[in-house]
Chain A
Amino acid sequence: METKNIMIVGVGGQGTLLASKLLGRLLLGKGYDVKVSEVHGMSQRGGSVVTYVRWGDRVCSPIIDKGQADCVLSFELLEAARYTEYVKPGGRIIVNSQQINPMPVVAGAAIYPENLVEKMAGLGIQVDAFDALTLAEEAGSSKAVNLVLMGRLSKHFEFTTQEWMEAIEHSVPPKFLEMNQKAFALGQSA
Chain B
Amino acid sequence: MKTLMLGNEAVARGLYEAGCCFVSSYPGTPSTEITECVAKYEEVYAEWAPNEKVALEAALGASLTGKRSFCAMKHVGLNVAADPLFTISYTGVNAGLVIGVADDAGMHSSQNEQDSRHYAKASKIPMLEPSDSAEALSFAKLAYELSEKFDTAVLIKMCTRVSHSQSVVETGERVVPEQKKYEKNPAKYIMMPVNAKRRHPEVEARTKALTEWAEQTDINRIEPGQDTSCGIITSSTCYQYVKEAFGDTYPVLKLGMIWPMPQQKIKDFAATVDRMVVVEELDGFIETHCKNLGLSVSGKDLFTNIGELSQNLVKEKLGGTVQTGTCLTEDIPARPPVMCAGCPHRSIFYVLKKLNLTVLGDIGCYTLGAVAPLGAIDTTVCMGASVSGLHGFVKAGGEEMEGRTVAVIGDSTFIHSGVTGLINIAYNESNATVIILDNSITGMTGHQQNPTTGYNLKGDPCTKIDLESLCHAVGIQRVRVVDPYDMDTCQTVIKEELAAKEPSVIISRRPCALLKYVKHPGPICSDPEKCKGCKACMNIGCPAISMVDGKAKIDATLCVGCGVCEQLCKFDALGAKE
Contacts and interface: CB of A to CB of B under 8 A. Distances in A.
Interface of A: 11-12, 24-25, 28, 33-48, 59-63, 65-67, 69, 78-79, 81-82, 84-89, 91, 101-113, 116, 119-120, 123-124, 142
A162 to B, nearest CB: 20
Interface in B233-266: 237, 240-241, 243-244
A102 B336 contact: yes
B82 interface: no
A71 to B, nearest CB: 12
5 cross-chain pairs, A with B, having the tightest CB-CB distances, nearest first:
A41-B109, A41-B29, A62-B165, A47-B337, A110-B333
Interface stretch (B146-154, B209-217, B498-506, B537-545): B537-545
Contacts of A41: 29-30, 108-109, 444-446
Given A41-B108, A62-B237, A63-B310, A47 B335 contact: yes
Contacts of B108: 39-43
Nearest to A108: B547
Given A39-B164, A41-B30, A87 B325 contact: yes
Interface stretch (B296-304, B365-373, B419-427): B365-373
A123 to B, nearest CB: 5
**Chain B binding site: helix, strand, loop or mixed by DSSP?**
loop
B545 A61 contact: no
Interface string B182-197: 0000000000000000
B325 A85 contact: yes
Given A47-B336, A123-B325, 7 more contacts: A39-B164, A40-B446, A44-B337, A45-B365, A82-B335, A85-B327, A105-B333
Contacts of B545: 106
B338 A45 contact: yes
Contacts of A43: 108-109, 337
Given A37-B164, A109-B372, A89 B4 contact: no
A84 B165 contact: no
Nearest to B541: A103
A88 B165 CA distance: 22
B336 to A, nearest CB: 6
Given A28-B4, A123-B328, A103 B543 contact: yes
A62 B240 contact: yes
B333 A35 contact: no
A123 B312 CA distance: 21
B335 A40 contact: no
A84 B444 CA distance: 30
B28 to A, nearest CB: 9
A106 B545 CA distance: 7
A12 B312 CA distance: 26
Interface in B327-382: 327-328, 330-340, 365, 368, 371-373
B141 interface: no
B167 A34 contact: yes
Interface in B371-396: 371-373
B312 A65 contact: yes
Given A60-B244, A62-B240, A79 B4 contact: no
Contacts of A60: 240-241, 243-244, 311
Nearest to A12: B337
Contacts of A25: 4
Given A37-B161, A61-B241, A89 B336 contact: no
Contacts of A66: 312, 322, 324-325
B290 to A, nearest CB: 24
Nearest to B343: A45
B167 A81 contact: no
16 contacts: A35-B167, A36-B4, A39-B108, A43-B108, A43-B109, A44-B446, A60-B241, A60-B243, A62-B162, A87-B325, A106-B543, A107-B372, A107-B373, A107-B538, A110-B331, A119-B330
A103 B542 CA distance: 8
Interface string B551-562: 000000100000
Nearest to A11: B335
B160 interface: yes
A81 B335 contact: no
A123 B325 CA distance: 9
Contact of B161 (A63, A89, A111): A63
Contact of A46 (B327, B337, B372, B446): B337
Nearest to B108: A39
A36 B161 CA distance: 10
Contacts of B161: 37, 62-63
Interface in B154-184: 160-162, 164-168
A104 B331 CA distance: 12
Nearest to B32: A40
B325 A40 contact: no
B334 A102 contact: yes
Given A37-B165, A104-B333, A107-B372, A61 B326 contact: no
A54 to B, nearest CB: 9
